[in-house]
A and B are shown apart, each in its own frame.
Chain A
Amino acid sequence: NAGVTQTPKFRILKIGQSMTLQCTQDMNHNYMYWYRQDPGMGLKLIYYSVGAGITDKGEVPNGYNVSRSTTEDFPLRLELAAPSQTSVYFCASCGQGYEQYFGPGTRLTVT
């Protein structure tokens, strides 16, 4: 199993550009999450999903959108990128238990 994979690993965006961060898991987990991690700070939940077709906002959803058309994929969309969205983005999934499995992260810089 590849576990949780994220693409791209790094990206630089100009202000106002849009992009999609991809997240895929092959563990058939129902729960999936998107977090951002700012320098020196903890993880903040952006959006989460409890299953295909169901998504909900986390602590910091503004400026982001998600979709969950399949169990495996949970892409995160940034519209009109802003410098405040410069961060490291982590995707995670969770099955029947409470352990979250994390992807390697995407480092995004908006200039």
Chain B
Amino acid sequence: AQRVTQPEKLLSVFKGAPVELKCNYSYSGSPELFWYVQYSRQRLQLLLRHISRESIKGFTADLNKGETSFHLKKPFAQEEDSAMYYCAGNGQNFVFGPGTRLSVLP
């Protein structure tokens, strides 16, 4: 079965510290993977997708097929990065992970 897991419900870091949000997937074939973000009182929006290999708001994510992971990283966290982050995969169906709440402390 297709599955996306995010082991951390809550992640707290200090401003300026590196941050890594973990995501692992279980898919047959080659799914397309995404990170979505939901800022307070806003709707979910796409942050980045693995195919584009781009950096958005300083975030990057690399697909590691050997470890079936798609971790989201940022070298220097900012307070405005505080939000809910969802990893998602699109294979046969679109599947979201449970989400990680990132809290960046001043």
Chain A interface (Cβ < 8 Å from any Cβ of B): 4, 33, 35, 40-45, 48, 58-59, 90, 92, 98-100, 102-105
Contacts and interface: CB of A to CB of B under 8 A. Distances in A.
Contact of A105 (B43, B86, B95): B43
A58 B96 contact: no
B46 interface: yes
B44 A40 contact: no
Contacts of A103: 43
A104 B98 contact: no
Given A35-B96, A42-B97, A98-B49, A90 B44 contact: yes
Given A99-B34, A99-B46, A104-B43, 8 more contacts: A4-B43, A41-B98, A90-B43, A90-B44, A100-B36, A100-B94, A102-B43, A105-B43
Interface residues of B, number: 20
A104 B94 CA distance: 19
Nearest to A105: B43
A98 B98 contact: no
Contacts of B46: 99-100
